[in-house]
Amino acid sequence: MSFFKRLKNIVDAKANKALDKHENPIEMLELSITKKEKLLQDAKKQCANFIASVDGIRNEKKDIQEKIDKYEEATKVAIQKEDNEKAQNFVKQKLELQGKLTQTEARIKEQDEKIQLVKNKISDLEIEISKMKSKKQELATRLDVAEINNDINETLAGLNDDHGINLDELEKKVVQKESYGKALEDLKPKDEDELLDEYISSSPSVDDEVAKELERIKEQMKK
């Protein structure tokens, strides 16, 4: 495979992927329904023209049948008048018309069968369009629900996204800064009063009873 052909395949694949991402299934279904409705409309017009043309053939058949009946009547009159030549001529014309009538009836039957096939296809197309419209309504509802769920899920996913922030590490840094500040506080120079206060506060407090007992023991030891 040539380089340019491979490059074209890659570009086409990426283009198809991008199109798939932005395709709206409801819009695609609506477009298909519109096309089929146009086909249905055209089919009905053609079928109507077809039926009209067959109606014309039916009128031809009616005219032929009327002529056959007249030749039949004329033949009877000629027989009554014993006009054999006329009777034979009328019968001949009648037979020719009967042959034409047979052909016309065959044409009508053939066209009627074709019309019925067209009507069946029109009926099937109407059912298909009706199903597509029902499916479109169902898919539109499902798509709305799916989009809402996706929006909710994306929002909830964003709530759990700390954008790379580690809260434990942040707390450690704060504690470290607090310890550093406390250490600085302990290391800063103290004035005389502070040193005295610190010495006093650090001296152990002696309970009065303990002090009395201690004095008693000391006095006893002197004796």
Q: Which carries the bigger pLDDT value, residue 19 or residue 6?
A: 6
What residue spans in the chain does CATH classification 1.10.287 cover?
3-159
12-16, 67-71, 156-160, 189-193, range with greatest mean pLDDT: 67-71
Q: Band of the pLDDT at 149, cuts 50, 70, 90?
A: confident
Lowest mean pLDDT: which of 79-93, 98-112, 184-198? 184-198
218 pLDDT above the threshold of 50 = yes
DSSP class of 162: -
Indicate the CATH number of 3-159 among 2.60.40, 1.25.40, 1.10.287, 1.10.3470.
1.10.287
Q: Are 46 and 114 in contact (CB under 8 A)?
A: no
High-pLDDT (> 70) share of the chain, %: 71
Radius of gyration for the chain, computed over Cα atoms and rounded to the nearest angstrom? 55
Rounded distance between C-alpha atoms, residue 109 and residue 92, angstroms: 26
Rounded distance between C-alpha atoms, residue 34 and residue 41, angstroms: 11
Per-residue pLDDT at 19: 46
**Stated pTM of the model:** 0.52
Per-residue pLDDT at 84: 92
Per-residue pLDDT at 23: 66
Rounded distance between C-alpha atoms, residue 15 and residue 7, angstroms: 12
Lowest mean pLDDT: which of 86-95, 130-139, 168-177? 168-177
Per-residue pLDDT at 192: 66
pLDDT tens digits, one per residue of 35-93: 999 999 999 998 999 899 999 999 999 999 999 999 999 999 999 999 999 999 999 99
Q: Band of the pLDDT at 150, cuts 50, 70, 90?
A: confident
- Written as six digits, the tokens of 54 are 């067959």
What does pLDDT average to over the chain?
Answer: 80
